[in-house]
Amino acid sequence: MPEFFSAPAFALWGSPVSWLELLAAVLALAMVGCNMREIHWGWPLAIISSLLYVAVFAQARIYGDASLQVFFAIVAFWGWSQWLRGHRADGSALRVSRLSPRGMALALAACALAWPAVALFLRRFTDTDVPWWDGFSTGLSLVGQFLLGRKFIENWLVWLAVNVVSVGLFIHKGLWLTVGLYAVFAVLSVAGFLAWRTRMHDGAARA
């Protein structure tokens, strides 16, 4: 990694913020803005931001989130193709919609299984000091990313839970810029849910 990116850009509450973390945060905000408006260019922004955050989180020993960023970068290619050419099971265009009761039950079960599975893996195979908090944000993010790629509105509720927990995690790690970023993400999760609900209602009215 070039020395410039690891150098501090400024300090927040006594903790240095690197140019790498600053750039990753700006791209991540732009990505969420695109997602809220269903603009597919948010996916390539997600790829770049995720790869930058691999280094940020690895340096802070948040290995679950670091590994998650690699997963995000890979899955973002799938999400991009879904938003460009994806269809529902009945062949209709991929539009914002709600999960069925069965889909909701499966999503909740996936969250309930992913959290302890990731946490126990991190506890066993890494030196992280926050396996359960890291495991929560990592495990639920896997579910949220799938729901986002398939344009299910419930993805925003999953991201809200992830972002709130992540704020506490990053406070513990002293990543203050990322604390602020995820606090904004939490607010944007609510805004995204409301924006997609409006789009969903507008689409139903046009139909």
CA pair distance 145, 3, nearest whole angstrom:
32
CA pair distance 152, 200, nearest whole angstrom:
10
pLDDT tens-digit profile of 6-38?
A: 655 556 666 667 788 888 889 999 999 999 999
Q: Is 164 exposed, middle or buried (0-12, 13-18, 19+ CB in 10 A)?
A: middle
Give the phi and the psi of residue 92 in degrees, each rounded to 5.
-75, 160
pLDDT at 4 over 50: no
Torsion angle of C-alpha atoms 186, 191, 196, 198, degrees rounded to 10: 160
Residues 6+ apart with CB under 8 A from 180: 12
pLDDT tens-digit profile of 113-155?
A: 999 999 998 888 878 888 898 899 989 998 999 999 999 999 9
pLDDT (average), residues 147-164: 96
pLDDT given at position 181: 86
CA pair distance 111, 117, nearest whole angstrom:
10
- Token digits for 110? 């996936």
| Cβ atoms < 10 Å from Cβ of 61 | 14
pLDDT tens-digit profile of 48-101?
A: 999 998 888 887 777 777 887 888 899 899 999 999 998 888 888 889 999 999
pLDDT given at position 10: 56
- 3 state SS of 60: coil
Q: Is 200 exposed, middle or buried (0-12, 13-18, 19+ CB in 10 A)?
A: middle
